[in-house]
Amino acid sequence: MNNNFFKNKRIVVTGGAGFLGKYVTEGLKKRGCENILVPTIDEYDLVKQGDIERMYDDMKPDVVIHLAAVVGGIGANREHPGKFFYENLMMGVQLIEQARLRNIEKFVAIGTICAYPKFTPVPFKEDDLWAGYPEETNAPYGLAKKMLLVQSQAYRAEYGFNSIFLLPVNLYGPGDNFDPASSHVIPALIKKCVDAIDDGKDYIECWGTGKASREFIYAADAAEGILLATELYNGNEPVNIGTGFEITIKDLVEKIAKLTGFTGDIKWDASRPDGQPRRCLDTTKAKQYFGFEAKTGFDEGLKTTIEWYKKNRQ
């Protein structure tokens, strides 16, 4: 780890106050970075070009790590496809364009696993990104983020602009979003199980059939991958950030029930969508290009997350 990379640089982390952002800013502090700048939504609406320009003028970054995104689970994606497309696209495209105009040293664009085609062969290889249309429920979000890859590659080719594109898999960990309206599957299930125990309920309801599989990465590990890439990777290929392990939603629910101590029934609502059938990443490139491997075991990460939720729930 070359800590000197971050030492005297001004690093802007969009979304730095969010779930992943807190781990990234923490990681930057550990690396001796003294100028970590986090634009907050109250001060800068990064969907608007004027606010983006003002943010760059105020913060004068050397490097931008763009984590800010409008995200949610399947339900939120189905309710707001237009908003998710427009806001994610406009934020990313304008941040990169203004960074180029200001000759910023490096731009780190964070993509999404939702950019992969619906029926990508498992494990997902970066070369398969263009082999089909994404899963319908989150395609607008996935495609908006994927355009930042196109832009990064086009800007590198035409302007020599150093922009890299990373694809982290589903995140989880302490500090996650547990709001049922917008949370992802792990916090949603932890909340269901813990609340059912509190309320003395003898069953929980889950979406879909449980047959779909997912891969998850502990947020602190994902942050480490992003920082290693910021430090060491300057290529035009997209790179997966993951663990290379998959679990079916059915097995996941049973595991979370066991770890939380919930012993009631699990009822499946098959009228609800499963989303993409399988998700599991090939993580070879991250290891090869910048030496990244996830460290946190899944059970260990889940236990820590459950403990955090129990302590911090209202």
CATH assignment of 4-175+215-243+279-296, among 3.40.50.720, 4.10.91.20, 3.30.420.40, 2.40.30.10: 3.40.50.720
> pLDDT tens, 35-89?
999 999 999 999 999 999 999 999 999 999 999 998 777 777 789 999 999 999 9
The end-to-end CA distance of the chain, in Å, is: 39
> pLDDT tens, 181-231?
778 899 999 999 999 999 999 999 999 999 999 999 999 999 999 999 999
14 near 64, Cβ under 8 Å?
Answer: yes
| Token pair listed for 129 | 């990104």
> pLDDT tens, 144-160?
999 999 999 999 999 99
The pLDDT confidence band at residue 273, using thresholds 50, 70 and 90, is: confident
Give the number of other CB atoms < 10 A from CB of residue 50.
10
- Please give the share of the chain, as a percent, with pLDDT higher than 70: 99
d(CA 140, CA 11): 29
Whether the predicted model's global pTM rises above the 0.75 cut: yes
Burial 271-299 (b: 16+ CB within 10 A, else e): eebbbbebbbbbbebbeebbebebebebe
> pLDDT tens, 246-266?
999 999 999 999 999 999 999
Q: Among all residues, which ones are annotated catalytic?
A: 141
> pLDDT tens, 14-42?
999 999 999 999 999 999 999 999 999 99
Residues 221-243 have a mean pLDDT of 98
pLDDT on residue 180: 84
